[in-house]
């Protein structure tokens, strides 16, 4: 293919030219029909998209990870950075491997942090690469701002919690590390916004900030204020009578590509007086030794909000995946005992995770698919924020179905010979359907009953 006529082989170009010169109009029409497929791209060929229309697209959808200091292996924010990668970019967008986004858009809800490209955008990028990735007239020779550049804070945070300097070696495994710190809140506090300020994004696989109310059993044996690797039994210990909310609540998670997502107007999360913060930090070595000094910024609400935001995690702790099973199904659910508004969802499994689906079942029996992830990828923990939060009446159930491949055909499977149970390590498994909901702040926190293992009447087909 020649560089100046993308999508049309030179031979065909010549044919179109010759045909228009010698053929009768009727014949020409037939020719046009016959060549319509080629002509579609020929139309694009007449005006290859200019880089000035590509640059903002790449900045918006790719730059969040492909910028210096981020997790992407190369920056893609300026022409000089993009040009050598043009072919690889074309391949990645055609194969839908980039940008990483796993919800099936055709059936899932709309998500406001959706970074996937539309077919038109893919077509545009491909046409530009096929045209030889010309620079044309540059919008800006310097990188454009990208979607997850830390926004200028509108005001100063009320509390900055510094994660102690974490040493991340150039290679090898960094143990999943905990840090427990006492917040010293003498009264209950409403948190209007929480925001991660990550120092070395290129080495952070994920971070979670959990709130541990007084008396909780959660990693209760960990010392305060020193990075700590908790054992499996320390991490799973819980009192029989303890509800998940009494044990811990996720305040905010960080994952690659993260950008702050507000919970909404007049909404806040509640931290009870005397609570601790438990940071869970998963670092991955990235070829260069670094010391990470990340921070969590908290903004307090100056008065109690109208709605409280709560993070719930229905989990199937009884899963037992037989050795070699290529399609094990696990189920967990949350039933709401008060009306709530659904803000976000996040499917969570480990290395054997294959597919995931969350569905709302309304009290009248109507079902609504919230999210379907047909090809789950453990490397990408993604929180999906609904573009229009959903009102769920009292009695609605959210069903979370997970499928696992414990066969040798799963290239990520560390050991197909074992029965796999619940556990924190990536070679154990989990089925957690993280859900964030908002509800009348004067309600008690017990707005949902989480079922751990009751199977649905009908097992849904694998998506
Ligand atoms: C959420 C983070 C993220 C976003 C957004 C993202 N990437 Fe990536 N990209 C990565 C990471 C991490 C890798 C390396 C690991 C991998 O391939 O999965 C990568 C790898 C790639 C590669 C392969 C590089 C190689 O070594 O062959 C290409 C090409 C690429 N990205 C292009 C893009 C383009 C184009 C976009 C936007 C349309 C994009 N990426 C958006 C994180 C991201």
Task: Evaluate whether 285 touches 181 at the Cβ level (below 8 Å).
Answer: no
Residue 15 to residue 349: CA distance in whole angstroms: 55
Over the stretch 123-177, which tens digit does the pLDDT of each residue have?
A: 999 999 999 999 876 655 566 666 555 566 678 999 999 988 889 999 988 888 9
Q: Does residue 368 lie within any of the structural domains?
A: yes
For residue 97, report the distance from its CA to the centre of ligand 1, in Å.
8
Q: Model pTM?
A: 0.83
CATH number of the domain within which 361 lies: 2.60.120.230
Where do the H-state alpha helices sit in 187-338? Answer: 232-236, 244-247
At 385, phi and psi to the nearest 5?
-95, 120
Give per-residue pLDDT as tens, 184-235.
999 999 999 999 999 998 889 889 999 999 999 999 999 999 999 988 788 8
In sequence order, the 6+-apart residues with CB closer than 8 A to the CB of 394 are 336, 337, 338, 339, 363
Which residues does ligand 1 sit against, CB inside 6 Å?
Answer: 58, 61-62, 64-66, 71-73, 85, 88-89, 92-93, 98-100, 115, 117, 256-257
Specify whether 321 is located in the same domain as 262. no
Same domain, yes or no: 300 and 320: no
Same domain? For 318 and 429 the reply is yes
Q: Do 227 and 322 reside in the same domain of the chain?
A: no
Asked whether residue 39 is domain-assigned, the answer is yes
User: Which pair of structure tokens corresponds to residue 444?
Assistant: 């008690």
DSSP-derived letter for residue 315 is: B
Residue 137 lies in a domain: no
Q: What share of residues in the chain are helix, strand, coil (percent, to 5)?
A: 20, 30, 50
In a domain, 143, yes or no: no
How many structural domains are present in the chain?
3
Contact 417, 423 (CB under 8 A): no
- How many whole angstroms from 257 Cα to the centroid of ligand 1? 11
For residues 94 and 188, state if they share a domain. no
Reported as type and span, the H/E element at residue 191 is strand 189-197
Q: Does residue 211 lie in a domain region?
A: yes
Q: Which of 114, 130, 146 is the last residue of a domain?
A: 130
Residue 114 lies in a domain: yes
Q: Which residues of the chain have pLDDT under 70?
A: 1-46, 137-153, 452-463
From 247, 275, 305, give the residue that closes a domain: 305
Both 425 and 395 in a single domain?
A: yes
Domain boundary among 263, 289, 305: 305
Mutate to test the pocket of ligand 1, among 53, 73, 81, 118 (most ligand atoms within 8 A of CB): 73
- Ligand 1 centroid distance, CA of 35 (Å): 35
Radius of gyration in angstroms for the set of CA atoms belonging to the chain, rounded to a whole number = 25
Largest CA distance in the chain: 89
Nearest CA to ligand 1 atom 42: 72
Taking a C-beta distance cutoff of 8 angstroms, is the pair 210, 310 a contact?
no
CATH number for 172: 2.60.120.310
**DSSP, residue by residue, 387-450:** EEEEEE-TT-EEEEEEEE--STT-TT-S-TTS-EEB-SSTTSB--EEEEEEEEETTS-S--EEE
Residue nearest to atom 13 of ligand 1 (CA): 72
Statement to judge: residues 317 and 394 lie in one domain? yes
- What are 98-108's pLDDT values in tens digits? 999 999 988 89
Q: Do 89 and 201 fall into the same domain?
A: no
Are 222 and 230 in contact by the 8 Å Cβ rule? The answer is yes
Judge whether 28 and 16 are in contact, CB under 8 Å: no
Same domain for 382 and 267? no
Verify that 290 and 384 share a domain, yes or no: no
Looking at residue 286, what is its pLDDT?
A: 84
* Structural domain includes residue 354: yes
Residue 405: which domain range?
Answer: 311-451
User: Read out DSSP for 197-218?
Assistant: E-S-GGGEEEEEEEEE-TT--T
Rounded to the nearest whole angstrom, what is the distance from the C-alpha of residue 165 to the centroid of ligand 1?
A: 28
Residue 194 and residue 227 in one domain: yes
Cβ within 8 Å of residue 23, ≥6 positions away:
31
Are the beta carbons of 162 and 225 closer than 8 angstroms?
no
Determine the distance separating the centroid of ligand 1 and the alpha carbon of 94, expressed in angstroms. Answer: 13
Q: CA 32, 38, 39 angle in degrees (round to 5)?
A: 50
Is 456 among the domain residues? no
Q: Are residues 40 and 121 in the same domain?
A: yes
């Amino acid at each position: 293919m020649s560089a100046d006529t993308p999508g049309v082989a030179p031979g065909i170009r010549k044919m179109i030219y010759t045909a228009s010169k010698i053929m009768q109009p009727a014949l020409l029409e037939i020719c046009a029909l016959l060549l319509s497929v080629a002509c579609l791209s020929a139309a694009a060929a007449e005006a290859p998209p200019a880089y000035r229309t590509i640059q903002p697209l790449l900045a918006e959808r790719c730059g969040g990870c492909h910028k210096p200091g981020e997790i992407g292996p190369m920056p893609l924010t300026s022409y000089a950075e993009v040009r050598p990668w043009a072919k690889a970019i074309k391949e990645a967008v055609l194969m839908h491997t980039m940008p990483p986004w796993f919800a099936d858009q055709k059936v899932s809800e709309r998500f406001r942090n959706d970074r996937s490209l539309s077919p038109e955008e893919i077509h545009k990028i491909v046409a530009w690469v096929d045209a030889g990735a010309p620079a044309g007239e540059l919008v800006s020779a310097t990188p454009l701002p990208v979607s997850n550049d830390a926004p200028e804070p509108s005001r100063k945070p009320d509390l900055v919690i510094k994660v102690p300097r974490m040493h991340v070696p150039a290679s090898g495994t960094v143990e999943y590390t905990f840090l427990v710190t006492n917040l010293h809140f003498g009264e209950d506090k409403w948190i209007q916004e929480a925001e991660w300020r990550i120092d070395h994004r290129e080495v952070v696989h994920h971070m979670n900030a959990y709130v541990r109310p007084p008396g909780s059993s959660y990693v209760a044996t960990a010392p305060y204020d020193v990075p700590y690797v908790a054992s499996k039994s320390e991490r799973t210990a819980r009192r029989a009578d303890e509800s998940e909310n009494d044990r811990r609540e996720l305040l905010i998670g960080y994952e690659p590509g993260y950008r702050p997502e507000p919970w909404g107007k007049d909404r806040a999360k509640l931290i009870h007086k005397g609570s601790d913060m438990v940071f869970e930090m998963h670092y991955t070595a990235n070829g260069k030794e670094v010391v990470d000094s990340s921070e969590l910024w908290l903004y307090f609400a100056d008065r109690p909000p109208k709605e409280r935001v709560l993070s719930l995690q229905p989990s199937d702790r009884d899963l037992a995946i037989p050795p070699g099973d290529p399609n094990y199904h696990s189920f967990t659910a949350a039933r709401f005992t008060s009306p709530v508004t659904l803000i976000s969802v996040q499917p969570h499994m480990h290395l054997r995770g294959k597919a995931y689906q969350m569905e709302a079942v309304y009290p009248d029996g109507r079902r609504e698919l919230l999210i379907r992830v047909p090809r789950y990828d453990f490397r990408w923990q993604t929180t999906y924020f609904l573009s229009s939060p959903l009102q769920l009446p009292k009695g609605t159930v959210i069903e979370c179905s997970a499928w696992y491949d414990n066969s040798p055909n799963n290239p990520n499977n560390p050991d197909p010979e074992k029965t796999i149970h619940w556990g924190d390590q990536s070679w154990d498994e989990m089925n957690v359907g993280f859900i964030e909901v908002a509800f009348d702040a004067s309600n008690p926190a017990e707005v949902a009953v989480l079922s751990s293992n009751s199977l649905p009447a009908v097992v849904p087909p694998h998506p």
